[in-house]
Amino acid sequence: MDKVLVIAVFSFFTICLADSDRTFPETFSFGAATAAFQIEGAWNENGKGENIWDHFVHTNQSRVIDGSNADIACNSYHKYAEDVALAAKMGLTHYRFSISWSRLLPNGFISPANIIAISYYQDLIRELEKYKIEPVVTIYHWDLPQMLQELGGWENAKIVDYFVDYADLVFASFPSVKHWVTFNEPKQVCRSGYGKGNMAPGIARSGIADYMCTYHVIKAHAAAYHKYQESYKSLGGKITMALDGIWSIPYWDNEEDQQASERKLNFEFGLYAHPIFFGDWPQVVKDRVNYRSKMENYPESRLPQFTVEEMEYINRTADYVAFNFYNTKLIKDIDEASFDTTSFDNDLRVKEDVDPRWTIAYDGNTIYPQGLRYYLKWIAENYNSPEIIITENGIADNDTSVEDNERISYLSGYLNAVLDSIYEDKVNVTGYTMWSLLDNFEWTSGYSMRFGFYSVDFKDDSRPRTAKKSVDYYSQIIKNRKIPE
């Protein structure tokens, strides 16, 4: 048998190819990210409607590991000015946040719009601009209005029109925003929400509903992109989707595992990137789903096919790559699964593993900074060297301590990997965004995982924030544009 691929392993405290003389370019932007459902709270205040995560959590508390909910969360709806001041104190040059669809449009439809909600986000953006912090705004971060889900959600073809109406309102209401993200991690929206069913709305029809969701998300993104170009191009904004992926390393140094690793990259990142950069699904994805569908006795592929007109419409509808990165895995090719079952995993046909020498974070993600570097290089090589902004990267812990030395080591390792990417690989990386500004409601993990630069006391009704040690460390990097030795 072929020998195991030798990997350069970086422990938790290792700095990757550190060079004290390397600095980040003057135009490089440093930020932190949040999402509306995870920090805002005020779940039913001032006219906000119910969204799928409100419904998912309220109808079954056991879906969240600690039985909690996001009804109050960080209370950022009422404390946004304080949060922006904290971001400014750190020296952030951009702040990524999302807009709640069900806050702006309580029923999901264009009428009636919630004027109070529009004013809230306008105030937030003005507060950021007061401190010269660039807003990077996500239009959809997983919180679909519940009423739209009752009409089929992302399986319903009409969702494309509903989303464009919503995006149009957002573009018109917040004209100063220059960096737009239509969808955050559509892979999670579709695969977890409509395939596995472990996240809202909890639909488990893998290999069918998740592909239909993906098809409609791509079309909705493209329609929003064209709406901006047609009506708001003079505002000078850029639009993309934030895509996530796991860096995939062949378990064995053989052709089968090399193909399996590449297949995984295409089934996860490529499934969303290929349509908006090239106008169609990756060929390997089409081939695999076609083959499995035929063998499972489906009359046609379970993967919806784009028409020629749709291909032209979705092609080149991304102005930059927004990339979320948390994890690296070893990938093995495996035998074909039985044709009696239909699933995304059967279409993909790989097995994940980890190198026992890697450090594993509290949330199960591996800590391997060079995985980020290799992924950035893969994106550059496969998508014509686009501008790339890292829109999420971070480490979880379960500790309320502000002495977050592990986060500091994580930052050092991953930011050195970014420098490697810029200087060694010549990848056009223009920004880095840490998840997250605040400890927050981490979906089905509730408050059991903490990613923030600032600790939040969720037992105190006033939700006080306390700076962690990593705040000063990140601030020094931003100020000096280099990583401390």
Task: Write down the number of H helices and E strands in the chain.
Answer: 17, 13
- Model pLDDT for residues 261-282, shown as the tens digit of each residue: 999 999 999 999 999 999 999 9
- Model pLDDT for residues 228-252, shown as the tens digit of each residue: 999 999 999 999 999 999 999 999 9
* pLDDT for position 20: 56
* pLDDT for position 14: 41
| Beta pairing class for 29-33 and 94-98 | parallel
Nearest-5° angle of CA 66, CA 69, CA 75? Answer: 125
The reply to whether 442 belongs to the active site is: no
- Model pLDDT for residues 106-143, shown as the tens digit of each residue: 999 999 999 999 999 999 999 999 999 999 999 999 99
Nearest to 6 by CA among 353, 361, 250, 350: 250
- Model pLDDT for residues 394-435, shown as the tens digit of each residue: 999 998 899 999 999 999 999 999 999 999 999 999 999 999
Nearest to 152 by CA among 211, 215, 209: 209
What gap in Å lies between CA 46 and CA 40, rounded to an integer?
A: 13
What gap in Å lies between CA 74 and CA 70, rounded to an integer?
A: 8
If you average pLDDT over residues 93-116, what whole number do you get? 98
If you average pLDDT over residues 52-81, what whole number do you get? 99
What band does 1 get if pLDDT is binned at 50, 70 and 90?
very low
If you average pLDDT over residues 213-227, what whole number do you get? 99
- Model pLDDT for residues 374-389, shown as the tens digit of each residue: 999 999 999 999 999 9
Widest CA span in the chain: 65
Average pLDDT, the chain: 96
Residue ranges per structural domain of the chain: 29-480
Nearest-5° angle of CA 153, CA 394, CA 389? Answer: 75
Burial of 230 (0-12, 13-18, 19+ CB in 10 A): exposed
* pLDDT for position 78: 99
From the candidates 50, 392, 406, 442, give the one annotated as an active-site residue. Answer: 392
* pLDDT for position 400: 82
Contact (Cβ atoms closer than 8 angstroms) between residue 412 and residue 73:
no
Burial 234-246 (b: 16+ CB within 10 A, else e): eeebbbbbbbbbb
User: In Å, how far are 312, 313, 336, 403, 473 from 479, measured between CA atoms?
Assistant: 44, 42, 53, 21, 10
If you average pLDDT over residues 439-444, what whole number do you get? 99
Q: Output the pTM of the full model.
A: 0.96
- The type of residue at 239 is I
Burial 367-398 (b: 16+ CB within 10 A, else e): bbbbbbbbbbbbbbebbeebbbbbbbbbbbbe
Contact (Cβ atoms closer than 8 angstroms) between residue 222 and residue 317:
yes
Q: Which two tokens stand for residue 119?
A: 């004013």
What band does 485 get if pLDDT is binned at 50, 70 and 90?
confident
Query: May I ask the CATH architecture of the domain 29-480?
Result: Alpha-Beta Barrel (3.20)
- The type of residue at 443 is W
pLDDT surpassing 80 at residue 27: yes
Q: Show the 3-state SS of 346-413.
A: HHHCEEEECCCCCEECCCCCEECHHHHHHHHHHHHHHCCCCCEEEEECCCCECCCCCCCHHHHHHHHH
Contacts of 92 (CB under 8 A, 6+ apart): 30, 31, 32, 133, 478
